[in-house]
Amino acid sequence: MRVKSGVCIPRFRIFCNRCVLQKLMVYRGTKFNCVLSCIRFESANSIGEHMPGIPHSLDDITPDWLSANLADRPIIHSFSKEVIGEGAGFLGDIVRIRPQPESLASLVVKLPTATTNNRRIGQLLGVYEREVRFYKELRPYLSIRTPKLLHGDMDDSDPTRSLRDLRLMKRLPIWLVKLLLPLVSKLAGNVNQRYVLLLEDLGGYRMGDQLNSVTHEDSMLAVKTLASLHAGFFDRSLTAFPWVIPFDLGARYFQIVTEKNHEEFCVRHQHILSDSHRKILNWLIANAGLFVGRMAQLPYTLLHGDYRLDNLSFDDERGEIIVMDWQTLLQGPIGIDLSYYIASTDVDGSEHELLEYYRGMMSEEGIEISSARVRYEYEMGVIASLQRIMLLASDDFHFGEGRGPELLERTTIRFFEAAEKIELDTLLRSVPA
């Protein structure tokens, strides 16, 4: 087989056009746009090709830049910086800005993390683009509170790219995806896209803390807020927002990561893993395809994707929650968000009550779901969330020191404790009405 450019691999070809990886794959006689098709390879010095005025790092944010990009065009002479959220978020750097003069309100700057490996993973998963688009395009349609957007910008990007790539990944044989994924991941680290958000500073509100216990009242409010989010988009199409990825399309990636990281995960966490925990992981790997297929049969809604205490801010005066960090939002079954909050939080045995309260809140919003169905979707969500934990267990993902590793370990323990209560084989037999 002769190929003028690129490399030749049996049964398919990969072509390269200049420094932009524009791929054509031929597999079993059918042409596909390769999963690599929209990843641009740019050198670290190619900032001049980007949209002007978008900071690449915190050092690029100056008083003049802030003045030019805030809506009221304030005259900012100087500002102080305070890193916040250390050990809570691992894909972004969050900094509180206190501008001078003091009469100006503080604000929060959010940029992709400066940690190279974490940024590579975030870039690969499209989390930075997703959050900017959320605040600029989707946030106005939500019935719940989020931080107010003061400014958001990013380098030009095709909003349908991730959806196309994931659809291809779902269609390709898994052995081929496994072969290509390391290359895609490596190339993502070379992408020099820029993203920035200026957001309302929530420092005046009470912040949730996943490492501490939570009151029953706070958990009830968290579940009520979640029901309001889910009800607004329940079983509705989100095709107007093609960058909101459906669960079943992203599941192939997590399936591969779970298989890849299985042994490493067991070694790293052997001090907390019991034999029953290992059996759960083995079941998940053996039944990954069937499990995702069953999840895909459930109604989808808009999911936060990382709904836990660290991402909740409590406005005690108004009795409301402000939900932060929308990098991992997606479409999927309600149980993913439900399980991520309940299973990752010390709810002190109130799991059943919280699930029933959620069902009641959904009913008030006009959506009727049986108790058995809510329980079923919660349990499916617990198992799905274990796949995310397997991604976090990768050597490539860095949690820093102190709070980050402790948070991962506690979350891991809590999810396995929740999974131990589930009759795994019954999950795949039938879906409760």
Residue 167: exposure state from Cβ atoms within 10 A (0-12, 13-18, ≥19): middle
Report the SS3 class of residue 74.
coil
**pLDDT single digits (tens) 108-135:** 999 998 777 778 778 878 899 999 999 9
- Statement: residue 37 has pLDDT above 60: no
Q: What average pLDDT does the chain have? A: 84
pLDDT score for 4 = 35
Q: Crossing angle for the helix pair 161-171 and 247-268, nearest 10 degrees?
A: 70
In the numeric block, which tokens belong to residue 143?
Answer: 């019935």
Largest CA distance in the chain: 71
Candidates 3.10.20.600, 3.90.1200.10, 3.30.70.1380, 3.40.50.720; correct CATH number of 203-427?
3.90.1200.10
pLDDT score for 403 = 80
pLDDT score for 396 = 63
- Statement: residue 397 has pLDDT above 80: no
Domain positions in the chain are: 43-201, 203-427
Closest CA to 243 of 195, 175, 309: 195
Residue 346 and residue 72: Cα distance in Å, rounded?
Answer: 43
179 φ, ψ (degrees, to nearest 5): -70, -40
**pLDDT single digits (tens) 55-86:** 988 899 999 999 999 998 899 999 999 988 66
**pLDDT single digits (tens) 297-354:** 999 999 999 999 999 999 999 999 999 999 999 999 999 999 999 999 988 779 999 9
Which single residue is written with the structure tokens 């200049």? Answer: 18
In the numeric block, which tokens belong to residue 166?
Answer: 């994931």
pLDDT score for 171 = 85
In the numeric block, which tokens belong to residue 127?
Answer: 């989390």
Q: Which residues contact 173 (CB under 8 A, 6 or more apart)?
A: none
Q: Assign 3 a pLDDT band (cuts: 50, 70, 90).
A: very low
Residue 18: exposure state from Cβ atoms within 10 A (0-12, 13-18, ≥19): exposed
pTM, to two decimals: 0.86
pLDDT score for 29 = 39
Residue 182 and residue 57: Cα distance in Å, rounded?
Answer: 26
